[in-house]
Amino acid sequence: MNAIETVSLTKHYGNKPVVDNIDLVVPKGSIYGFIGRNGSGKTTTQKMISGLARPTSGSIKLFGKSVESQDVRDQIGVLIEEPALFAELSAYENLILQGHNTGIKNPKEQAKKSLELVDLTKAANKKAKQLSLGMRQRLGVAVAMMASPNLLILDEPINGLDPEGIIEMRGVFERLNKEMGITIFISSHILGELSRIATHYGILHDGKLIQQLSAKELAEKSRDYLQIRVSDSQEAHRLIMEKMNPTECTVLEDSVRVFGVDNSRAVNEMLWKNGLAVDEIYRHQQDLEEYFLAQMGGFQLA
Amino acid sequence: MLNIFNMDMRRLFRSKALYSCIAFLLTVSGTMILFGMLPDFAAATGSVGGETDMMSTMMGVGMVFIILSILFAIGISTDFSSGFSKNIFSRHTNPIRYIGGKLLSLTVIGAIAIIAHTAVSMLLFEFTGTGVSLTGGYLGLFAYLIEKIFVAGALAALILMVYLFTRHIALAMIIGVLVATGTISSLLSVLGEYLEFSFITDVSKYTISGLSGQANLEFQGSVFITILIGSVLWAAVCSALGAKALKRKDIL
């Protein structure tokens, strides 16, 4: 069963489609990285999935049931845009209020657990407005976790966190996912970080879901290339195109990037024989960031 | 609904706005009594032949409703301005859960303000030597408090509806104050008299401020029932419309 499934999900503001006919599939138990540029429709999609925005058309199912069913709404925790907190109240009080909102039986106990989970126990009595942005983000995650959801919908949850905070949150998400089996639907601009935890990805561009793939598929699709730092990159480009039959070769400032050629020794030898000095040669695996940019570029060109 | 009620009560009792508004209300009422601007308890409760003009409405218990309008608008808008509404509405699919819980908590706050105002007024009238004349006895006083609390619930429903439609705190406050001061029903009465449509004048008795104006310290069964049913009807209509607004508008 899928945790989230949308069919032709569309949202218009006025006549402008912000989310355009997307068929999203988030497998149960996955960490789904939802990526796209600012204004691509990520937050609107997450709001519709959380029941906060009404779709213009299309349908949303969570765990096989309509998003309008109270049964499935009891199973989700959300952090959309900024953490939803009462600024004048303490971190602990905000959690207790969420406990009452969700109707859990032991809000005090659960609040303590949630604070521990995001390492905010020491800041429990601080007012939300006195917390740093990073601490508020962590508190937002704790609020979302109060009712022990099966699905977490998180919009940019690591924004504003320092490197240490990002590592901590990564640990939290991994624990929630692996130990508690919670499905996490997460949007983030920090793609390097996302690629460390995500098991699936969806790429949104101008409201359209242009690609949906698993981390395994991404690894297969990501192209290896040879990066060669050489004395004359223009000449190296000409020679490689002529003699090595690459699928693609691009000239950078002091190097060339060669796609579709595996044998680095042969390239090195060929360049050396033609009088070019090779300073450095290495194989590079395209990461999520590069893959994403390539998709965006490709999509724009198309 | 009870989840929202529990949550809201806890939050309201931890907000400065509640204590500031009640302190302000009691200070103003106390000052008016001590300086003789409210001659007796009947005037303080707005029970001198009904609240027929702006001044009498704004004095005494009318002041309670003005302050309550502000407090209600703040109490509702904070859910949305803080963003906590996202936690609420991602959880609850039925808007009546929110509206019902919210109305219940705001009515309790209204009851606290009305009872505090009445108690302080009685104490101050005793203290100043004016004394308290309960024309309908304690039953009359009890019925009067119940009537005013029901009217407070109707006022809360109206302000909630205006806010849910407009998401504008100032507008919700202004409408609330206009209703609390009786401005809208006074205008209806004037219009009715000018156009010689007694129907309009009669209808103004059933506006929220019109119902509030009917409450007095002499217990009258028919008035009591009218106020209770009228208030419940106002609350029901406003809640239904508010629910429609919630269903239609996105949570930002």
Does residue A265 form part of some domain?
yes
Short-list A195, A182, A190, CA closest to A165:
A190
Pairing of strands A255-259, A248-251: antiparallel
Q: With contact defined as beta carbons under 8 Å apart, do A77 and A152 qualify?
A: yes
A176 in the same domain as A89: yes
User: Which residue of B18, B86, B89 to mutate against A (max A Cβ within 10 Å)?
Assistant: B86
Q: With contact defined as beta carbons under 8 Å apart, do A75 and A149 qualify?
A: yes
Confidence of residue A237 (pLDDT cuts 50, 70, 90): very high
Considering only A70-79, A104-113, B216-225, which range has the smallest mean pLDDT? B216-225
Partner residue opposite B250 with nearest CB, options A53, A88, A102? A53
A124 in the same domain as A205: yes
User: Which residue of A4, A45, A52 to mutate against B (max B Cβ within 10 Å)?
Assistant: A52
Q: How many CA atoms lie within 13 A of A280 on its CB side?
A: 9
Q: What is the spatial distance between Cα B114 and Cα B47, in angstroms, rounded to a whole number?
A: 14
Q: What is the pLDDT of residue B40?
A: 67
Q: Which two tokens stand for residue B212?
A: 């509030």
Percent of chain B whose predicted confidence (pLDDT) is above 70: 90
Does residue A274 form part of some domain?
yes
Considering only A159-163, A247-251, B162-166, which range has the smallest mean pLDDT? A159-163
A81: which chain B residues are within 8 Å (Cβ-Cβ)?
Answer: 83, 86
Mean pLDDT of B88-114: 93
A108 in the same domain as A77: yes
Does residue A202 form part of some domain?
yes
A266 in the same domain as A194: no
Look at the pTM and tell me if it is higher than 0.90: no
Structural Rg of chain A based on CA atoms: 23
Residue with the larger pLDDT of the pair A229 and A216: A229
A116 in the same domain as A129: yes
Short-list A54, A2, A33, CA closest to A202:
A33
Short-list B250, B82, B99, B102, CA closest to A139:
B82
A175 in the same domain as A66: yes
Listed in sequence order, the residues at least 6 apart from A116 whose beta carbon sits closer than 8 Å to its beta carbon are: none
Q: What is the pLDDT of residues A43-63, one digit of tens each?
A: 999 999 999 999 999 999 999
Terminal-residue alpha carbon distance, chain A = 34
Partner residue opposite A52 with nearest CB, options B7, B84, B89? B89
A271 in the same domain as A169: no
Q: Could you tell me the CATH number of the domain that includes residue A258?
A: 3.30.70.100
Short-list A132, A169, A175, CA closest to A154:
A169
Listed in sequence order, the residues at least 6 apart from B4 whose beta carbon sits closer than 8 Å to its beta carbon are: A101, B88, B92, B97, B98, B100, B101, B102, B105
Short-list B105, B107, B93, B97, CA closest to B7:
B105
Q: What is the pLDDT of residues A71-93, one digit of tens each?
A: 899 999 999 988 889 988 999 99
Q: What is the pLDDT of residue B57?
A: 46
A39 in the same domain as A182: yes
A190 in the same domain as A250: no
Q: With contact defined as beta carbons under 8 Å apart, do A156 and A249 qualify?
A: no
Does residue A74 form part of some domain?
yes
A89 in the same domain as A118: yes
- A61 in helix, strand or coil? strand
Does residue A191 form part of some domain?
yes
Q: What is the pLDDT of residues A118-133, one digit of tens each?
A: 888 998 999 999 988 8
Instruction: Tell me how many helices (H) and strands (E) chain A has.
Output: 11, 15
Q: What are A78's strand-pairing partners?
A: A153
Mean pLDDT of A271-278: 90
A50 to B84: CB separation less than 8 angstroms, yes or no: no
Domain-terminating residue out of A197, A220, A243: A220
Residue with tokens 């640990």: A171
Q: Could you tell me the CATH number of the domain that includes residue A44?
A: 3.40.50.300
Domain region containing A262: 223-285
Q: What is the spatial distance between Cα A11 and Cα A43, in angstroms, rounded to a whole number?
A: 12
Does residue A85 form part of some domain?
yes
A206 in the same domain as A235: no
A102 in the same domain as A29: yes
Counted domains in chain A: 2
Q: What is the spatial distance between Cα B5 and Cα A103, in angstroms, rounded to a whole number?
A: 11
Q: Which two tokens stand for residue B12?
A: 């309201």
